Amino acid sequence: MTESSPDEILDEARRWWSTEIIDVRPGEIDLRGYPVQELIGNVSFVDTIYLMLRGELPSRAQAALLEAALVASVDHGPHAPSIAIARMATTCGARINGAMASAINVLDDVHGGPGQQCMELYLEIDEEAQRSGDVAAATRVVLERRRAEGEKYVPGFGHRWHPLDPRTPRLLALVDAATADGSVSGRFATIGRAVEEAISEGKPKTIPMNIDGVTAIIYCELGMTPELGRGVFILSRSVGILAHAHEQSQQGGRIKGPMPKSIGYTYTGPTRRSVPEERHK
């Protein structure tokens, strides 16, 4: 085996990690090629999020859409499992990082994943529509295909709490405005509305788009991948998680469970019984 020269070893070490995101040298920090000192004070945090994720600075309209989506997803109250977990963890003595990590770790496929799943649905419909040229027909084809595969739930539509999610009309209006001025294509807003119409057909009431459905439109319009869409949602919800964890630390309380002990829970096991006599020692 040929022994590597010092220069070859150094070159291998330099190539171990490869990134287009940041270049750090003594006295210099560049994000996507921009010196950080030029970004500071000149671009917003939302601009920087977009730059880090998409590689270029956003237009004002693109940044406004991303910011609106981030604001809309920041919190949904202590009944949301992730928020409740942050507060419970705090009462169990977890520091802020532990409480936040505990909460973020439950933002998986069920609680936290529908936005990503809805983006995947929209992109599938868009691909079908590119072939057929008909968004409504493509929507029906994809929904029927998914039903045939056993899917019963359409992510991004309906809500356990809200007859109409109050965030949806406002965000849709912003997407429509950005579409009108050419900042985004608007095709995913068309797809989202087509899904709402298709799944509501024959129903006594419309099954309305929820926050996951409308932010999925925004993230698709901004060119993000579905996985990035989930990550950006987690980024937004982390602010609410942080606020609740901090508030609970100020309120105090020790080992608070998911409900007051006076309410109790439903026990479904055997009635109380004695250990058989032959088992006694």
pLDDT tens, residue by residue, 48-83: 999 999 999 999 999 999 999 999 999 999 999 999
Residue 8 within a domain: no
270 lies in a domain? no
Q: List the structure tokens of 224.
A: 């993000």
Residues 104 and 243 in one domain: yes
Q: Is the domain of 172 the same as that of 113? A: yes
pLDDT at 161 over 90: no
Query: Is 186 in the same domain as 50?
Result: no
**34 three-state secondary structure:** strand
Do 64 and 54 sit in the same domain of this protein?
no
Q: Note whether 114 and 251 are same-domain residues.
A: yes
> What confidence score (pLDDT) does residue 145 get?
97
Asked whether residue 45 falls in the same domain as residue 70, the answer is no
Q: Residue range 95-122: average pLDDT? A: 96
Q: Quick one: 93 and 118 in the same domain? A: yes
Q: What percent helix, strand, coil does the chain show, rounded to 5?
A: 55, 5, 40
Please report whether residue 3 resides in a domain.
Answer: no
Is 263 among the domain residues? no
| pLDDT value at residue 116 | 98
Confidence of residue 119 (pLDDT cuts 50, 70, 90): very high
Q: How far apart are CA 175 and CA 138, in angstroms?
A: 22
Q: Do both 180 and 232 map to the same domain?
A: yes
Q: State yes or no: pLDDT of 243 exceeds 70.
A: yes
> Which residue segment(s) compose the domain that 213 sits in?
59-256
Predicted local confidence at residue 1, as pLDDT = 58
Cβ neighbours, 10 Å, residue 181: 9
> Under DSSP, is residue 128 helix (H, G, I), strand (E, B) or coil?
helix
DSSP string over 239-263 = HHHHHHHHHHHHH--SS--SS-TTT
Give the pLDDT of residue 135.
98
Do residues 114 and 153 lie in contact, with contact meaning Cβ atoms separated by under 8 Å?
no
Structural domain tally of the chain? Answer: 2
Question: What's 120's domain CATH number?
Answer: 1.10.230.10
**Tens digit of each residue's pLDDT (9 = 90 or more) over 37-52:** 999 999 999 999 999 9
Please say whether the dihedral angle defined by the alpha carbons of residues 264, 269, 273 and 276, taken in this order, is positive or negative. Answer: negative
Tell me whether residue 81 is in a domain: yes
Same domain, 246 and 236: yes
Decide if 99 contacts 84 (C-beta within 8 A). no
Lowest mean pLDDT among 22-26, 234-238, 253-257: 253-257
Would you call 22 helix, strand, or coil by DSSP?
Answer: strand
**Phi, psi dihedral angles at 166 (to 5 degrees):** -65, -15
Torsion (CA) 115, 120, 121, 125 in degrees, nearest 10: 140
Residues 142, 251: one domain? yes
Same structural domain, 230 and 244: yes
What pLDDT is recorded for position 207?
Answer: 95
Average pLDDT over residues 139-156: 95
Q: Is the residue at 275 inside a domain?
A: no
**What's the pLDDT score for residue 164?**
87
Q: Give pLDDT tens digits for 175-205.
A: 999 999 999 999 999 999 999 999 999 999 9
Looking at the fold, whether 144 and 34 belong to one and the same domain comes out as: no
Tokens at residue 4, please?
């590597």
pTM for this prediction:
0.92
Is 217 within the bounds of a domain? yes
Q: How far apart are CA 281 and CA 279, in angstroms?
A: 6
Q: How confident is the model at residue 13 (pLDDT cuts 50, 70, 90)?
A: confident
pLDDT at 2 over 80: no
Stated length of the chain: 281
Minimum mean pLDDT among 166-180, 181-195, 258-272: which range?
A: 258-272
Mean pLDDT of 13-32: 95
Look at residue 245 and tell me if it is in a domain: yes
